[in-house]
Amino acid sequence: MAVALGYGACLPTAAAPLDEPLKPLPPVPTLDAATVELGRQLFNETRLSVNNTKSCASCHQLETGGADKRPFSLGFDGTPVGLNTPTVFNASLNFKQFWNARVDTLQAQVEQVVTGPMEMGNTWQAVTQTLQALPNYQAAFQQIYADGVTAANVQNALATYERTLLTPNSRFDQYLQGNTGILTTQEKYGYQRFKDYGCIACHQGANIGGNMYQKFGVMGDYFKARGNPTEADLGRYLLTQDEEDRNVFKVPSLRNVAVTAPYFHDASANTLEEAVDVMFKYQLGRIPSAEDKTLIIQFLKTLTGEWAGKPL
């Protein structure tokens, strides 16, 4: 479609966004630049951990999908943590944080990770004392916050930075925004199969997940088949002691899923193909044709977005 300008000239018009159940990522928010920069420094600051060995970036590696290539990240003492590290990219769009969705905000997530005995192992009193003793941090906090270095302000700065860690402009986002030629016919078929098989029932919204709970093993006993049960497999049951919450987790986002292997809370799937097989068997109770599985995987690969102006 074009708009005539006279004398035979035409100006292309912007394509209309598609009316689809999935939505494009919102733009990266414009937040206070000084707070974002302070949060970025803190995100990479190993002195948040008790022995100066771990930063947020140690496990949330922004150059490789915002997660950790290890099945289980190593805590401050070198011991593996109990759950696979989810990506920090687009985490601000999740309705809760952590696999078992035990906190509501990014600030609360930061608070627990810093003091977690399996993660950074520190105390907030020690963190604030450490940062107050460093002139560059002392000055930065005083510039931004009237009360300077406090636990709440450290958490606020980190959460502010993390809100900028969105990965827009995936090919699928461009498709949703009206550039329908950006996807191949096979990728479009894959998106249709994703909807037809019911994957979209749990992986919804702009983050294509992250906005509801679901039992792992709706259509079969995944944990019995996998074997070697762990306490972490109990999911939200550990919080609520409600039998209905046994093996229930926050549904993860599928954005950038092609670059965030291994998959699931237990890191049991090393490849996207394995993960799709598990989802079909234990969540949908269906066996897709080989063609449909291939098409869905091709679609999932279109969900990889950009960070800092470059594809992940």
Q: Are residues 144 and 184 both part of a single domain?
A: no
Query: Residue 27 falls within a domain, yes or no?
Result: no
Per the CB < 8 A criterion, the answer to whether 296 and 199 are in contact is yes
Q: Are residues 254 and 224 both part of a single domain?
A: yes
Sign of the Cα pseudo-torsion (230, 225, 236, 97, in order): positive
Query: Residue 9 falls within a domain, yes or no?
Result: no
**Run of H or E residues at 214:** strand 213-215
Sign of the Cα pseudo-torsion (96, 100, 106, 111, in order): positive
Per the CB < 8 A criterion, the answer to whether 109 and 56 are in contact is no
Query: Residue 23 falls within a domain, yes or no?
Result: no
Per the CB < 8 A criterion, the answer to whether 247 and 214 are in contact is no
Find the mean pLDDT for residues 261-279. 98
Nearest to 235, CA basis, from 226, 244, 243, 246: 246
Residue 273 a catalytic site member: no
pLDDT of residue 15: 80
Q: Which of 120, 144, 163 is the last residue of a domain?
A: 163
Q: Are residues 153 and 86 both part of a single domain?
A: yes
Q: Are residues 272 and 199 both part of a single domain?
A: yes
pLDDT of residue 287: 94
Query: Residue 22 falls within a domain, yes or no?
Result: no
> Residue 14's pLDDT band (boundaries 50, 70, 90)?
low
> 213 φ, ψ to 5°?
-100, 155
- Measured between alpha carbons, how far is 300 from 302 in angstroms, rounded to an integer? 5
In this predicted structure, the answer to whether residue 1 has a pLDDT above a threshold of 90 is no
> Residue 4's pLDDT band (boundaries 50, 70, 90)?
very low
Which residues, listed in sequence order, are joined to residue 9 by a DSSP beta bridge? 6
Q: Which of 137, 163, 189 is the last residue of a domain?
A: 163
Q: Are residues 179 and 135 both part of a single domain?
A: no
pLDDT of residue 5: 45
In this predicted structure, the answer to whether residue 187 has a pLDDT above a threshold of 80 is yes
Average pLDDT for the chain: 95
Take residue 173 and report the two structure tokens written for it.
Answer: 């986002």
How many domains does the chain divide into?
2
Neighbours of 14 (CB within 10 A): 9
DSSP string, 163-198: HT------HHHHHHTT-GGGS-HHHHHHHHHHHHTT
Side-chain half-sphere CA neighbours of 188 within 13 A: 11
Take residue 290 and report the two structure tokens written for it.
Answer: 């080989």
pLDDT of residue 12: 47
Query: Which residue in 37, 63, 111, 119 is the catalytic one?
Result: 119
Question: CB burial class (10 A; 0-12, 13-18, 19+) of residue 303?
Answer: buried
What CATH number did the domain enclosing 282 receive?
1.10.760.10
Q: Are residues 193 and 235 both part of a single domain?
A: yes
pLDDT per residue over 276-296, tens digit each?
Answer: 999 999 999 999 999 999 999
The parent domain of residue 129 ranges over 33-163
- Measured between alpha carbons, how far is 140 from 88 in angstroms, rounded to an integer? 24
Query: Residue 8 falls within a domain, yes or no?
Result: no
pLDDT of residue 46: 98
Q: Are residues 293 and 223 both part of a single domain?
A: yes
**Run of H or E residues at 292:** helix 290-300
Find the mean pLDDT for residues 173-186. 98
Q: Which of 163, 187, 206 is the last residue of a domain?
A: 163
Find the mean pLDDT for residues 170-174. 98
Q: Are residues 238 and 285 both part of a single domain?
A: yes
pLDDT of residue 309: 87
Q: Are residues 87 and 185 both part of a single domain?
A: no
Find the mean pLDDT for residues 262-273. 98
Q: Are residues 156 and 181 both part of a single domain?
A: no
In this predicted structure, the answer to whether residue 8 has a pLDDT above a threshold of 90 is no
Q: Are residues 156 and 186 both part of a single domain?
A: no
Q: Are residues 144 and 183 both part of a single domain?
A: no
Query: Residue 14 falls within a domain, yes or no?
Result: no
CA 216 to chain CA centroid, Å, is 18
In this predicted structure, the answer to whether residue 40 has a pLDDT above a threshold of 60 is yes
Query: Residue 299 falls within a domain, yes or no?
Result: yes
Q: Residue 236 carries which DSSP code?
A: T
Query: Residue 252 falls within a domain, yes or no?
Result: yes
Per the CB < 8 A criterion, the answer to whether 211 and 201 are in contact is no
